[in-house]
Amino acid sequence: LFRSIAMTVDPNWEPSCAWAKSIWHGTPIAMNMAEPITATWGPNILYVEDPDRTAGLKVYLPSPGDTQLGARVGQVIYISGTMQLDSSGSGEPCIQASTYRTNLPGMPNVYLQPLQMAGRTINSKTGNNLGLDVKIAGIVKTVDSTGYFTVDDGSGPVKVDVDYSLTPAGFTVVDAAGVPHPSGGGFVFPQSGDYVSVEGIVSLEGSNPSTAIRCLRPWNSDGNILMSNDRSVPMHGNRNPDRKST
């Protein structure tokens, strides 16, 4: 005997970053909804985020140079490709895109504000925060000028991973008045004990999923990473004056 089971499909359902992360790697996938681009790295890596800011996802575009020529922060993108685990071995889910389209005619750019997030939430392995554009403010605890420093907001230190190969000129340090550091935009590591506010993408670092750790990766696109060492000055961005808070 066979029993029929009635199923209801929401006609308004659309694919999302959260949904994509649940897809087994190796599965073809089409993100047929407009996903705002929140960050770009190097020649062909970007991050997208659901408009309701509940989840984000790493994307590898098909060709080197795509992030300079065809995909920029603030644009919305439609992606088709294959779900994969990141080639670093960290276990971070990502899409290997085969095709993509950005900003269809009449579609405005979408600039999402970063989410203020506590260190314990960034470090949590149970949340769905991988790929989200977030900011954290706290005290610098450790500094390793070869590539990272840690920031503690009182709930646990967060590793801020600085990748020189991808982001050597994508950082700006500002003073209390918002004046850029005299270095001309190159990244200057903070000192232990400094109070800083940093924006970046929640990502995974490591070559094994079982030992990979959560980290914050500042991005290097059209705008700059801004860090302030003045407690009275909130972290602020300069990607675009139309950048919207939702």
If you average pLDDT over residues 149-172, what whole number do you get? 72
Return the minimum-mean-pLDDT range out of 10-14, 86-90, 182-186: 182-186
At residue 84, does pLDDT exceed 80? yes
φ, ψ dihedrals at 122, nearest 5°: -60, -40
pLDDT at 200 over 80: yes
- Model pTM score: 0.78
Average pLDDT, the chain: 75
Q: Distances from the Cα of 189 to the Cαs of 69, 198, 217, in angstroms? A: 30, 12, 14
Compute CA distances 142 → 129, 138, 201, 214, whole Å: 24, 12, 20, 16
Q: By three-state DSSP, how is residue 20 classified?
A: helix
Q: 48 pLDDT exceeds 60?
A: yes
Is pLDDT of 64 > 70? yes
How far apart are the two ends of the chain, measured CA to CA in Å? Answer: 52
Span 120-131, average pLDDT: 86
The predicted model gives 181-205 an average pLDDT of 73
**Better pLDDT: 228 or 96:** 96
- Bridge-based pairing of strands 195-205 and 133-144 is antiparallel
Query: Bigger pLDDT: 220 or 158?
Result: 158
Cβ neighbors of 13 (< 8 A, separation 6 or more) are none
Residue 12: band (very low, low, confident or very high) from pLDDT cuts 50, 70, 90: low
Instruction: Write down the H helix ranges in 65-224.
Output: 66-69, 119-123
Determine the pLDDT at residue 193.
87
pLDDT in tens, 204-243: 988 888 888 888 887 644 334 445 554 444 333 333 333 4
Residue that wins the pLDDT comparison between 40 and 165: 40
100 or 182, which is more confident: 100
**Alpha-carbon distance 65 to 241, whole Å?**
26
Strand partners, 39: 47
Q: State both tokens at 88.
A: 């670093």
- Confirm if 90 and 207 have CB atoms less than 8 A apart: yes
Q: Is the pLDDT of residue 192 over 70?
A: yes
Please tell me the predicted confidence (pLDDT) of residue 83. 94
Number of Cβ atoms within 10 Å of the Cβ of 108: 11
The kind and range of the H/E element at 17 are helix 17-21
Q: Is the pLDDT of residue 161 over 80?
A: yes
Mean pLDDT of 200-204: 90
